[in-house]
Structure 1
Amino acid sequence: MTQFADKVALVTGAANGIGRSVAMMLAERGARVVVADMAPAGEQTAADIRAAGGQAEFVRCDVSDGASVAAMVKAAVTSFGRLDIAVNNAGIDPEVAPTATWEERTIDSILAVNVKGVFLCLKYEIEEMLRTGGGAIVNMGSAAGLVGVANKPAYTASKHAVVGLTKASALQYASQGIAINAVCPGAVDTQMLADNLGDPGLKDMVAANHPIGRVASANDIAEAVIWLCSAQASYVTGHALAVDGGLVIQ
């Protein structure tokens, strides 16, 4: 498929989970992809894309560090000449606990990656897209960015902030050819969910909380991201798209 032929895409947090699915899907549909992650496993994602006949480069990036993010965007342009699509997927959700028991350093780490990291990615991606005439950016939100989630105060706050960053940035750059949206998943069958649950038996309980009766696959979320990156979504900006099996409409 050549849906994204001649497009250059950047995906953060692409070593596994949703980010890997997005990177693989973009490549399958013709994009040249920069795979970014802190984890060396990101190189495997890039290698798998190349093995399937696509073009990809791996860049190690700490999204909470401005110099690292600037270098990531520069590497994308150096490798492939421009930047048309960016998916700011990198995020962490390390702990489930009541608000009063959270430690300051844990909150700082979540906000550094999930909020500052998205802001920094937007900053440098937008700069490059303005230089070349526009593009599409998708930030990874969460159902926790649309409603409150007990025992996840810092994560919930961080994902509400992602939705806010998305809306404010979309207003600023809509007239300059840059569409900026967010995808807000419910529970997704990834390692992050497994780590949060601890007990594999709890997955069925989580699935039952979603009216559709199951948790999402990473590909379910990737398909929504891909649509927002495409020409078919050219009239959509500033939107936080819930892809959550009906979770937040209850």
Structure 2
Amino acid sequence: MFFFYTERKWIDLKDSLKRFFFQCSICLTSIGIVAVYQYTAIGKWFYFIEIQQYWGRHFQLPSLPFTTFSPKSAMGMDTIGLSLGLIAAALFILLLYKLRNEARKMLDKNYDRALIFSLCYFTFISILDVFFTDDYQGHTKIWSINRHLLCTPYFFVILFELRSSRWSGTIGRRFYMVGITIILLSTLFLTQVSAYPIQLIYYVFFSVYLLRYIIIQDPVDRVERIVHVLFISVNIMFYLIYMQNYLQNGWIG
């Protein structure tokens, strides 16, 4: 339905297909340029896809609980990435449901296309990092999901959108908050984060902060400023730890 929708009006099939193929042509052209450059350099086409096998990237059904490359230092971040991926997938399904119902009524309502793209990106990257990876001691590694999701502008689009009333207005505010809480708790048991106390504390702290961010939409008060400073301080601490690991040739996820 997204292809038939623009700004504040519905458009016909012909125009929507033209827009769709034009946008896809930009992506295909970029891929083609990389493929040509790689062929001139090493004599192989699309080797950037083939080389993924050396990283263990292939389709397989996941084995729970999820782990990561260096769980002692990155399990908390990868658990956060997985939880936000699941939240984005749930919002994406809810958005499709809303668009389906409103398409029948032909309502003149503007949906932010940046939000739709961000939800699609988070959903499909989460699928790739869960189903196209390898195992470690019988557990699926979701390594790098944190940097694939959190280190993108799409993260901020979704983060700001979590406070929007469009979701709670559709399914009810209480049900919306219960749903977000269930996803955060479920992710806690889907990964090995509980086996690493520091990583567990970080994930719990993030979850509480996220729920507070969604629930409390009043002007910033003194308590919220303190929470903000505390959250930023914790993140700076983890940043320094990751930077130290990086400078020592360690993998930081």
In the superposition, the TM-score normalised over structure 2's length comes to 0.28
Larger RCO: Structure 1 or Structure 2 (Cα < 8 Å, ≥ 6 residues apart)?
Answer: 2
Higher helix share: 2
Bigger Rg, structure 1 or 2: 2
